[in-house]
Structure 1
């Protein structure tokens, strides 16, 4: 009966939708195994269901062949139960989730979810002189997100966004075009539209203010998917089912990186790491920029081999660093300069993109006269991979792919599979695929680290880790970073991060530097990086800046188990590591364009300081919880905006009541991390009668460890019963993981009075209570093959 009521409600509501292209005339519908075929006078619509929550629509104009190849989608259409309801002028096809309505006259396609109208085609597909477009109706007040990495404000409605990956050097608070331009729209009405087509174009988010969404492209597929769900997390999970989940990167990816543009020699590289050791500042990786293959910035790109004058014992250096727990990462670019050592080889082996006459296409850009590797040629892809394989065999642990938009990509250049404009937006995506597939083939047990400046929808499945480009080293540059990372997270690329401290310009501002690094604790990758005029590494900054930066870096390492659990969640469900507050209160309009405060995982509320000299910060606390100040344990009731006094050594950070926060012991790098010896902080609050969390752990390096059964999943539970607080631990282990013994320091916050007694597994146990901090500390030794129960008896 409930299902029937939804059908009736839907049929009533869709009567209000606007008509489509009046010249398009309905002819007939066929129901297929996976969806529908709708024949109209100027072509055919092919509609396929992937699940009850994902439907794909393709228009095939008369005289054209359907283009089946998708660069984004990996899911296959499925047989979904579809109930047709047919009347004289419309046919509605119902699944358990999404519904598709075909209005016959005037012709229109509309989409709904569980009886709630979402979006409908307006003019639908139209071919103009220069562009092909697909047009949709929008409701008056819906907020729109998406379009990739931009600095525009969270609500991107009102902008016509170019879809052409392009670097923006030195941007600050506004950047309309950046390295990741994704053909994705998300609506505050809780649906997503993904335009599944690679060639360049535009995404018009109601720029004319006539309630119209328009996708514009030069050519290609007339295909889009509508993705729905019961909430934001559900929608992102469904989208990443469609386009692929992000593999888990190695655990060291969560550590601190030493990086700059750039280290000129082997001696300078090793001396820098020695500085980190001397100051006892944790570090897990060092990134070598252009100088590893040449002495000069210009004229050497494309050498792609070690410059022995500066790195005479490169292999020894990598080995020595590895012995200290520090990984080496090398930059690479897809350009081979005509002055480089490999130019003749690249021409001879025919690995470069061509001109119209079949010769290598050469052109000038900042680094010199160049050709571009045509990764779409199988022999060129193999040639490029062999270079990476050689570096991996030298001990290099990660790959940095720079300038992969590509930075300069003339329209006249021709690739094996199409023109420059047809493949431009997927070049970085397919470059990441090349590396991902190479590792899978030649190093199948190793998790790659792939840092890329450009990509496409679905790039997350190749392990691509994006960053926000050459941001200016100013407060304006910092201010745009939370928005960019939050936007990319909801579009499937959960590891978007920034060059901590800012990249462009010689601005020596210790306050800015420290605040950026404090923000970095609660964003996906901790990688200070900048032009070398002003050092990006804390070991070369002032005493005060270095000490404050060290506090942030040590906190980053302390949160390693919590952060690694976010990696697991992202791998399993596509869940972003950074999450906007409208995820928490989806109907709160004030939060729909708000990025200044966000969630780090489920349990941290973070409000970075984005202005100089700020003495207090206005923070909104979601009403879904009560909150604790992470540094003082002050209790704050949810559902209010509150002014928080700032501190020099930290940004405002809060923990959700009822949270279990796992923390690691101090370490110099993640090689020293021991999951058998950790702290578990529980934030007790009378309003939380029952609480559950889970903590994932594996060896941090084996590819597909979860799928291979090489993991443990620890479950924590807290329950308040009368005058007792009961806490339980249990573990699920994969088939190839062993039970073990853990030494856990259980710290319970907000315990106002000393307990009468504590029992662990039914026996009285020692504990310490700190009256000043209102914390309870219970040492627990736990053999994980058995459940552990801690029972705390309070005084009446």
Structure 2
């Protein structure tokens, strides 16, 4: 009976890993085997090529690729005495039978794939360099000065050359020295690492999508897995500071945040929550401080009470971990772990950090993760930097493996909430673990200036959720650490970043308590703007899950044939309809000039309520209060009202910002915020605008889908920019005449739609002068 239950558990773990639409074994109809080479046609633009002298082709998941069972695209196979030919609707592959694609006699003659790019043929062969790759990301910005790490960015999944190649071969070394190993279902509920069968094999994925960059990213997520949707609270403001705060310090910070009306959703407890060094001779740690697994009772005498107080104030929390040095004999969890692992607790000095050892993982989860999570820890910040590769398992990257295990452990064991971790990039496949921590940057404009490019470019590997230390982390001797203007410009960029988290290094002289700054009203205005934009941001996060395109994305996704889209790298799209060009230099007398490229069409400048004509390069002035962000003409941007204090709220009134001048539509996505069934339980509300002559109509469709936690009735305030005054000061809402307000200074028509059941559609019409 026990064996039967174990089998059921194993099968359940396998189902949890692969799911209905995740299967590493390709459809046999998509596979062509020719001797020691196997070719799999995944999409019309994507082909996998394997070479294995022992014919041990890989049918398991790997760190990079977890699914190969896609609908079989149309393709043809033919051959002659010398070559095998495979043609899809987009690609033409030729392989010299019996050869190693890289050798015998040379790569172009052995294997080549030809495609068209803008009407001209382009041919790729193994080993071909690509100087036009648009790059991806890098594991950390620790100690990066300005754009000093630009050359370290890994290759991305898209290129101006029209093609990109994923080398998933066992011997291909990632930038951290690790390799893409195999993943197999396991009874723990976490798919486990395994060596590749043929370590000398070749395993390539050719992506020939031309300049259809967004389609390339979408199809990559078909084989590599989606970007999971983070819980709603992750998109709010995170208060974080590396400081040896006491429990009362945390309570006072919460009090100050509330008294100063600073919307906050996440509180981080940095590493001093645990014992550092030897603060108490009766509670010696002795592990050097960075790694620790026991509460520091000198600072936090009653952890359970503190965590309850944090939750009672409507906040979520994470603890910082540096899982580098293992578990020392002085740790509270040591004896329990030793017993679980069959070790002698009286003679063992240290249990080494070896997360790839299942016995270690089980003991660690049982003695540390579960008890701390029961106390109230919502998620973990893996501040991992010490070891890049495991000394125990050849080719295993510690960064990737920690991310993989912690995320999937939460997925398997905390079904009441969405899995989320805060971590560093560990190579391709890391997008499946969501939110990145970019590391310890310098407090200066140079660091700020690199982050818009760095953040948007990470979308080229589907790493859509970089979270930076807003304000910078560590002291630059050439620059003051508490410059109010620099902090403000960093916060303004933070509004239009995936994760909005302030932070800094230890030292009370570095201040992240924004309520103490002279420009606090301006700083807090950025926090208010972030919360106003939440419905739009969360909708775009859902689209990232569906499409593989990050919230922050480069301009060339939309305008791949415009050179300006590649040159103006400090500006980017924030979702589908907002163009952002952050200020990243100090002002002159409170005014900053910004050179911005505006693509075709027209763009509404939210900073000064003016329309900017597209297909132009302009130098515009911005005061300290102003952020250079622009709505696309025709855009509809749904906002929260000012009274909303948390991203977890679902208000009974929404503000709908509309830019008139062009027909347009959008869909508002909503769900319960922290459940795992968001794939099926969600609701959509469609908004549209259409203008014929002087008559404009605005539609709010009936809400469709499952409305968990959503109000049954809702009111709307339409703010329609770029309009003349309504002809008679009136509008019609569902056929009834209502007053239409008009603000001359902002050229904005305001119409109030009364509260009504959300299963009812609304039609609003206005005739303009």
Same fold (TM over 0.5): yes
Q: 1:634 — aligned with what? A: 610
Residue equivalent to 1:590 = 564
Say whether residues 1:476 and 2:446 are aligned partners. Answer: yes
Task: Describe the shift of the 1:773–1:72 C-alpha distance in structure 2 as closer, same or farther (beyond 3 A).
Answer: same
Q: 1:388 to 1:666 in 2, by over 3 A?
A: farther
Q: How does 1:106-117 map to 2 (within 5 A)?
A: 106-112=109-115, 117=121
Out of 744-753 and 189-198, give the one that drifted further. 189-198
SS at match of 1:242: helix
**Which of 657, 675, 682 lines up with 2:658 in the alignment?**
682
Match for 1:408 among 362, 366, 387? 387
Match of 1:777 in 2: 750
Pairing 1:644-723 to 2, within 5 Å after superposition: 644-667=620-643, 669-670=645-646, 673-685=649-661, 688=662, 690-707=663-680, 709=681, 711-723=682-694
Give 2:467's aligned residue: 497
Q: How does 1:83-232 map to 2 (within 5 A)?
A: 83-84=76-77, 86=79, 90-102=83-95, 106-112=109-115, 117-121=121-125, 124=126, 135-136=127-128, 138=130, 143-149=132-138, 168-175=142-149, 184-197=156-169, 201=173, 221-229=201-209, 231-232=212-213
- Structure 2 distance, partners of 1:337, 1:572, is 40
Deviation at 1:465, TM superposition (A): 0.6
How many residue pairs match? The answer is: 685
RMSD: 3.1
* 1:760 counterpart = 2:733: yes
Structure 1 Cα separation of the partners of residues 321 and 413 of structure 2: 19
Distance in 2, matches of 1:254 and 1:242, equals 27
Contact 1:630 1:653 in 2 (8 A): yes
Tell me, yes or no, if structure 1 residue 299 matches structure 2 residue 288: yes
Corresponding residue of 1:454: 425
**CA distance in 2: counterparts of 1:305 and 1:338, whole angstroms:** 10
- How much does 1:678 deviate? 1.1
Q: How do 1:315-330 and structure 2 match up within 5 A?
A: 315-330=304-319
| Contact kept? 1:675, 1:697, Cα under 8 Å | no
Give, in whole Å, the separation in 1 of the partners of 2:140 and 2:692. 58
2:602–2:633 Cα contact (<8 Å) kept: yes
Corresponding position of 1:727: 698
Within the candidate set 336, 351, 358, 1:378 is matched to: 358
Moved more, 431-440 or 771-780: 431-440
Pick the aligned partner of 2:714 from 742, 752, 755. Answer: 742
Q: Aligned pair in 2 of structure 1 residues 762, 479: CA closer, same or farther (>3 Å)?
A: same
User: Would you say the 8 A contact 2:77–2:84 is kept in 1?
Assistant: yes
The corresponding residue for 1:436 is 407
CA contact (8 A) 1:402 1:452 kept: yes
Q: Are residues 1:48 and 2:40 paired?
A: yes
SS of residue in 2 equivalent to 1:599:
strand
Using structure 1 for the length normalisation, give the TM-score.
0.80
Deviation of the 1:95 alpha carbon = 2.1
Following the alignment from structure 1 to structure 2, what is the Cα–Cα distance between the partners of residues 177 and 465? 23
* CA deviation vs aligned residue, 1:618-672 (integer Å, no higher than 9, x gap): 3334333200111221110001111110211232111111111111122574166
Q: Which moved more, 1:547-556 or 1:194-203?
A: 194-203
1:766/1:311 CA distance change after superposition, 3 Å: same
My pick for the range that moved more, 764-773 or 601-610, is 764-773
Q: Give the TM-score taking structure 2 as reference length.
A: 0.82
User: Which segments of structure 1 move beyond 6 Å, counting only runs of 4 or more?
Assistant: none
Match of residue 178 from structure 2 = none
Q: Using the alignment, how far apart are the partners of 2:261 and 2:741 within structure 1?
A: 30
Deviation at 1:602, TM superposition (A): 1.3
Distance in 2 (CA, whole Å) between partners of 1:188 and 1:233 is 13
Q: 2:38, 2:57 within 8 Å by CA — same for their partners in 1?
A: no
The gaps in structure 2 that reach 5 residues or longer are 1-26, 98-104, 176-197, 279-286
Match of 2:245 in 1: 264
Q: Decide whether aligned partners of structure 1 residues 393 and 732 sit closer, same or farther in structure 2, where only a CA change above 3 A counts.
A: same
Report matched runs for 1:537-556 at 5 Å: 538-539=512-513, 542-556=516-530
SS at match of 1:488: helix
Cα distance in 2, alignment partners of residues 221 and 258 from structure 1: 47
Do 1:328 and 1:398's aligned partners in 2 also have CA atoms closer than 8 Å?
yes
Q: Cα deviation per residue 1:49-98 (whole Å; 9 max; x = unaligned)?
A: 223332111121x3574444411212223433322355676543222344
The separation in 2 between residues aligned to 1:202 and 1:247, in whole angstroms, is: 23
What is the alpha-carbon distance in structure 1 between the residues aligned to residue 620 and residue 703 of structure 2?
40
Q: Which residue of 1 aligns with 2:191?
A: none
1:494 is displaced (CA, Å) by: 0.4
- How far is the alpha carbon of 1:262 from its aligned partner? 2.5
